[in-house]
Structure 1
């Protein structure tokens, strides 16, 4: 009987032009899967695998060396969901998306938080129906909060601030997560937290006029 403790890990091919994997990545991943293992593919472009507790460090290193990004599963900020960046990395803000993901993915929060980014107002990355949504509009960025795609209380996100420079965007998202982490209740989604805390109070806390 297998008494080993298994831990879920979320992996993806990194932030890039849509959800793509290379043969090298698939080969590396297959080493940790039995023939009849089912792999969950989430809406956030992540694959969920199960590894034994004592394997976490070595598996993470090997998968990262193969080009994967590896994340914890649970009440953390998910990796940034993106669109396909159809007009090119620089024009669509790819470096900004990569940096934003690096700063926030894996942070612990009261409840699983789903951020999304899109490089133009077409919003193919669905930023308006996720907890945090970023839209690049010309040379600036808009930050939306509190969106939810499913359930009886499904709703679009609300514009928190627009005309943001990249550093302003990073700083504002960092501050937002800190307010949520400090004041949110366990298993309270960001949108419900904002309803309870108050949108105007949140803006005041974040020093948004």
Structure 2
């Protein structure tokens, strides 16, 4: 393989599934596009970073997708949904909702890297309370948290913004929050800082009307 040329970074994972898993076929396809000395970076949001030659990037993406891998941009974008292990079954843990939410938001440009997380029960293995946007399935509804921060002396759990949303309400609300952040956030302004500056009440006032759902 020609080892000269500019490289770009791709973010890949096995898709939104039962935890962060890869098949033997997916691992083999990734290995085909690595040369001696290359390394895979494992991120905290369940993605792998791989460096590929820029000239080959599009064809590599296609091969990865054929193997069932999902590819995402690297940088100031909404990351793919961090998930738990969904230990009680696909429908009960809301897997179809997690997949659809990821499809709608992952890869959208934002002022600074935004990490969403989803968990299918109150145990919270997907760590929704310490990520920028967190979704927790409670019985038949979805509770939405925002502004969590996992690192630093000012680490903090997210604030419950809306409780017991239907899937459609969840999609619309999260998409609206991300749109507001993309339009109103300052360059390289982390989401939790944006929330403090923009104001929680101000954000609530701009969300779709969800009768008796806003958690004051």
Scaled by the length of structure 1, the TM-score of the pair is 0.97
For residues 197 and 42 of structure 1, do their structure 2 counterparts lie closer, same or farther at Cα, with a shift above 3 Å needed?
same
Q: What CA distance in whole angstroms lies between the structure 2 residues aligned with 1:190 and 1:11?
A: 23
2:144–2:160: 8 Å Cα contact kept in structure 1?
Answer: yes
| Other-structure match for 2:79 | 78
Q: Which residue of 2 aligns with 1:146?
A: 147
Find the residue that maps to 1:59 and give its secondary structure: helix
Which residue matches 1:11? 12
Residue 54 (structure 1) aligned with residue 55 (structure 2): yes
Superposed CA offset, 1:42-84 (max 9, x none): 1111110001111111000000000100001000000000000
CA distance in 2, matches of 1:98, 1:137: 17
How far off its partner does 1:3 sit? 5.8
Aligned equivalents of 1:2, 1:15: Cα separation in 2? 33
Aligned to 1:163: 164
How far is 1:148 from its partner? 0.7
**Pairs aligned (count):** 209
CA contact (8 A) 2:14 2:20 kept: yes
Q: CA 1:3/1:186 → structure 2, altered by over 3 Å: closer, same or farther?
A: farther
- The question of 1:117 aligning with 2:118 is answered yes
The alignment yields a C-alpha RMSD, in angstroms, of: 1.3
- Alignment partner, residue 185 of structure 2: 184
Give the superposition deviation at 1:36. 2.3
Q: CA deviation at 1:152?
A: 2.2
Deviations 1:19-41 (A, max 9, x none): 11111111111111113211111
CA–CA distance in 1 between the matches of 2:3 and 2:69?
28
Provide the secondary structure at the position in 1 that maps to 2:145: strand
SS at 1:81 equivalent: coil
Secondary structure (helix, strand or coil) at the match of 1:82 reads: coil
TM-score, normalised to structure 2's length?
A: 0.94
Structure 1 residue runs of 4 or more that deviate by more than 4 Å after TM superposition: none
Partners of 1:117 and 1:207 lie apart in 2 by 21
Gaps of 5+ in 2: none
For 1:24 and 1:124, the matched residues in 2 are separated by 27
Question: What's the CA shift for 1:207?
Answer: 4.4
Q: Is 1:198–2:203 an aligned residue pair?
A: no
